[in-house]
């Protein structure tokens, strides 16, 4: 079977998929089918409780766990705004030491204790102070519900990349900040959602300190990113009395293809592989009152929302609580529009206020967002300083790094750690892989070399395209190179390209489009980078892009080792950019590679985590990698074989100074730069010697 471009039919229509997307989609579909059987098998309340325990256990582990201690909140009010029928308290509390949460408390007029709600904002630039969200908070307060509305990290007064000179975030507020730090969190085995959710849990703790709050009537409500947080708190906060997520819930089968995986906090490692879907957030909440709001024209597909509601309603029925789950949809686009806000109030009136009569949202004016600022400067960064998600995650990375199992591990143990972490299939570490099936797709001649176009089966049913350049002027067995360029197998096969230089020097050069490279690369959608979405799809089904591509590279080695014109003792691996990272992995795993070279690659995951900003690192994500090893540790698995590191790069893609690029990398044979315009044979003359 050849998987170059596959057309599939999904719930969202006919879509052309890249090879790596087709591969990951097939795995996802297997998990969806297994989950459907498991959910259908739930027939009793005891089985529901068993599912809920499984959801909380697995999701808690996937999110990175929560702090073992609830440190002092140090809550303080920095100002009060008196309004008609309510007042707004400007609040700041610390969900973790020196990790400041800015919030507004909307307090109804009159005497409490009041029912309350955690108001979680979507991806608005001004967070809690967005006019749309203010309408929700004010309307709740006017009907007698106290609201704690807080800024998520990276939004409102909590920009973690705020530049005082620019007067704005350096990377872009909301989603962009979340994804910048989200990559770093994944490398430590954590998730950006961990910090957002913990802010909400500690917000609940704060509400319990107030005499004007009824502790048994506290809800959560939010839209979009706030709908996401509402769904997570439904899982992780057992004290909640009601949940009302809006414009988030769908199904992965409907979301998978278009628009695909989205923000950092919305993707948990192994989520689909663990048998989960959006419905599990809601199943975990049964039988407490829950209402799902949806938009028919949303980019969170409405068909998925409807399907998920039907699934969850059956679970509530099993629990004898079918009247406690509701669904509302409106024919408009994504957002907490008035119809969805009013559906939220109606649900709260019924289950928090015990009101049978319902009144809609009245007319009122919102507050100027600057008036709601809790901090003196409008930003935590310039008012209080303190910790950020990036700094907290970096501290965790340093702790993990200091005691990673790779320290002191011998080569065999290190290879086992690597294989397990990136998800290599059993048997990848031995010499019994055998030769792959290869299909010849055509030949042609170059100047002094032959060009072969191949299809190489690297897994059952997976055939990747490859090109081989072999010298025609030398007889006998020749040295060979697996050449890895993410831009594609033909990019460096031009007349003056690096692959041609190797072929003319007497090497058999095999360049594959490892899944995700060149012709097999995925395409992004809805404004999200293709590398990001591919990495998230892989992670969701329990895979890594590195592991998938490494499987392809190892099979290319197996192919070369069985060619009659190749000297099996002289097979090398060479990579550029991300291909350089992959080359280091390949040389560490496959001892049959005589030598390796990496050009233009980042050389440390710790560099990524320590960096204030990074760029283009999504393809290298291996969730939890720093719990086991870092890239410099792989060098020990390559020794005493030859390893060259040329043009090392920082996490932003800039040229790294050599001393900074090499900490702890003793055993590297050569490091250096490749000046602009220098041909391959000039830079790598010594490396190419036989």
Render 32-53 in DSSP notation, one character per residue. HHHHHHHHHT--SHHHHHHHHH
Q: At what angle do helices 338-351 and 131-142 cross, to 10 degrees?
A: 30
Report the pLDDT value the prediction gives residue 669, as an integer from 0 to 100. 74
Report the pLDDT value the prediction gives residue 462, as an integer from 0 to 100. 93
Q: Is the pLDDT of residue 40 over 50?
A: yes
| Mean pLDDT of the 621-640 span | 93
Write the pLDDT tens digit of every residue in 477-534.
Answer: 999 999 999 999 999 998 889 999 999 999 999 999 999 999 998 877 778 888 999 9
| Mean pLDDT of the 196-218 span | 98
Instruction: Please tell me which residue, 352 or 671, carries the higher pLDDT value.
Output: 352
pLDDT band at 127 (very low <50, low <70, confident <90, very high): very high
CB 502 within 8 A of CB 512: no
Q: What is the CA radius of gyration of the chain?
A: 28
Q: Give residues with Cβ within 8 angstroms of 288, minimum separation 6.
A: 240, 241, 242, 243, 324
pTM: 0.94
Report the pLDDT value the prediction gives residue 179, as an integer from 0 to 100. 95
**Contacts from 39-47 at CB under 8 Å and sequence distance 24+?**
39/279, 39/311, 42/315, 42/318, 43/318, 44/318, 45/318, 45/319, 45/320, 47/318
Q: Is the pLDDT of residue 16 over 60?
A: no
CB 20 within 8 A of CB 515: yes
Q: Is the pLDDT of residue 99 over 70?
A: yes
Q: Is the pLDDT of residue 357 over 70?
A: yes
Write the pLDDT tens digit of every residue in 409-425.
Answer: 998 999 999 999 999 98
| Mean pLDDT of the 313-333 span | 98
Domains of the chain (ranges; CATH) run 76-387 (3.40.50.1820), 403-688 (3.40.50.1820)
| Mean pLDDT of the 453-469 span | 95
Give, in degrees to the nearest 5, the angle at Cα 514 between 646 and 493: 60
Cα 605 vs. chain centroid, distance in angstroms?
15
Tell me the three state secondary structure of residue 150: strand
Write the pLDDT tens digit of every residue in 269-298.
Answer: 999 999 999 999 999 999 999 999 999 999
Report the pLDDT value the prediction gives residue 646, as an integer from 0 to 100. 95
399: part of which helix (H) or strand (E)? Answer: helix 389-402
Percent of the chain with pLDDT over 90: 86
CA-CA distance, 2 to 9, in Å (whole number)? 18
Structure token digits, residue 58: 């697995």
Q: Is the preceding peptide bond at 640 cis, omega within 30 degrees of 0?
A: yes
Report the pLDDT value the prediction gives residue 667, as an integer from 0 to 100. 53
CA-CA distance, 197 to 153, in Å (whole number)? 10
CA-CA distance, 686 to 671, in Å (whole number)? 12
Report the pLDDT value the prediction gives residue 562, as an integer from 0 to 100. 94
Q: Give residues with Cβ within 8 angstroms of 534, minimum separation 6.
A: 20, 21, 24, 516, 522, 545, 618, 619
Instruction: Please tell me which residue, 2 or 49, carries the higher pLDDT value.
Output: 49
Report the pLDDT value the prediction gives residue 2, as an integer from 0 to 100. 33
Report the pLDDT value the prediction gives residue 145, as an integer from 0 to 100. 98
Report the pLDDT value the prediction gives residue 522, as an integer from 0 to 100. 82
Mean pLDDT of the chain: 93
Residue 489: how many CB atoms within 10 A of its CB? 26
| Mean pLDDT of the 467-473 span | 93
Cα 676 vs. chain centroid, distance in angstroms?
35
Residue for token digits 């060979």?
A: 480
Write the pLDDT tens digit of every residue in 554-586.
Answer: 999 999 999 999 999 999 999 999 999 999 999
Tell me the three state secondary structure of residue 12: coil
Instruction: Please tell me which residue, 229 or 19, carries the higher pLDDT value.
Output: 229
């Amino acid at each position: 079977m050849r998987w170059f471009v596959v057309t599939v039919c999904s719930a969202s229509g006919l879509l052309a998929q890249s090879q790596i997307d087709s591969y990951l989609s097939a795995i996802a579909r297997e998990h969806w089918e297994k989950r459907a059987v498991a959910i259908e098998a739930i027939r009793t309340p005891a089985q529901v409780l068993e599912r809920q325990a499984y959801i909380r256990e697995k999701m808690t582990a996937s999110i990175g766990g929560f702090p073992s201690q609830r440190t002092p909140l140090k809550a303080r009010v920095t100002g009060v705004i008196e309004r008609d029928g309510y007042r707004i308290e400007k609040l700041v509390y610390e969900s973790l030491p020196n990790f400041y949460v800015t919030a507004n408390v909307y307090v109804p007029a009159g005497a409490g204790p009041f029912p309350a709600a955690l108001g979680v904002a979507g991806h608005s630039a001004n967070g809690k102070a967005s006019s749309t969200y203010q309408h929700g908070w004010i309307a709740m307060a006017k009907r007698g519900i106290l609201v704690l509305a807080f800024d998520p990290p990276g939004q409102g007064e909590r920009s973690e990349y705020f530049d005082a000179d620019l007067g704005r975030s350096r990377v872009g507020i909301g989603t962009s900040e979340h994804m910048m730090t989200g990559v770093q969190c994944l490398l430590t085995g954590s998730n950006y959602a961990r910090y957002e959710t913990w802010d909400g849990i500690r917000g609940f703790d704060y509400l319990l300190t107030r005499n004007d709050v009824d502790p048994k009537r506290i809800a959560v409500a939010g839209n979009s990113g706030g709908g996401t947080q509402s769904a997570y708190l439904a899982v992780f906060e057992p004290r909640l009395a009601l949940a009302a997520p809006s414009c988030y819930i769908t199904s992965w089968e409907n979301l998978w293809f278009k628009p695909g995986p989205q923000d950092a906090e919305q993707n948990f490692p192994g989520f689909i592989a663990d048998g989960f879907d959006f419905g599990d957030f809601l199943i975990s909440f049964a039988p407490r009152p829950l209402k799902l709001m949806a938009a028919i024209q949303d980019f969170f597909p409405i068909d998925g929302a409807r399907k998920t509601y039907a699934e969850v309603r059956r679970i509530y029925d099993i629990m004898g609580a079918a009247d406690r789950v509701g669904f509302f949809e409106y024919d408009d686009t994504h957002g907490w529009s008035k119809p969805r806000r009013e559906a939220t109030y109606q649900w709260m009136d019924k289950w928090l206020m015990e009101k049978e009569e319902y009144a809609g949202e009245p007319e009122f004016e919102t507050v100027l967002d600057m008036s709601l600022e809790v901090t003196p400067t409008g930003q935590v960064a310039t008012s209080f300083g303190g910790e950020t998600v990036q700094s907290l995650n970096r501290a965790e990375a340093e702790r993990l790094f200091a005691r990673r199992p790779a320290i002191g591990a011998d080569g065999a143990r290190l290879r086992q750690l690597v294989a397990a972490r990136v998800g290599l299939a059993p048997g990848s570490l031995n010499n019994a892989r055998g030769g792959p099936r290869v299909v010849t797709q055509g030949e042609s001649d170059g100047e002094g070399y032959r060009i072969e176009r191949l299809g190489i089966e690297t897994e059952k049913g997976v055939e990747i395209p490859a090109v081989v350049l072999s010298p025609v002027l030398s007889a006998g067995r020749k040295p060979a190179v697996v050449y890895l360029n993410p831009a594609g197998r033909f990019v460096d096969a031009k007349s003056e390209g690096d692959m041609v230089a190797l072929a003319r020097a007497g090497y058999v050069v095999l360049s594959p489009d490892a899944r995700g490279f060149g012709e097999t690369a995925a395409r992004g959608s809805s404004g999200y980078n293709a590398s990001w979405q591919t990495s998230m799809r892989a992670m969701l089904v329990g895979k890594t892009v590195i592991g998938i591509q490494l499987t392809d590279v190892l099979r290319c080695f197996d192919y070369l080792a069985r060619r009659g014109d190749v000297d099996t003792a002289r097979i090398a691996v060479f990579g550029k950019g991300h291909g350089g990272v992959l080359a280091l992995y390949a040389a560490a795993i496959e001892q049959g590679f005589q030598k390796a070279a990496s050009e233009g690659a980042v050389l440390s995951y710790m560099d990524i985590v320590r960096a204030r900003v990074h760029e283009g690192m999504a393809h290298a994500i291996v969730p939890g990698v720093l719990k086991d090893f870092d890239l410099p540790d792989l060098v020990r698995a390559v020794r005493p074989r030859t390893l060259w590191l040329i043009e090392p790069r920082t996490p932003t893609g800039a040229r790294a100074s050599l001393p900074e690029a090499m900490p702890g990398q003793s055993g590297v044979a050569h490091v250096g730069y490749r000046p602009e315009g220098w041909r391959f044979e000039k830079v790598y003359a010594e490396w190419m010697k036989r």
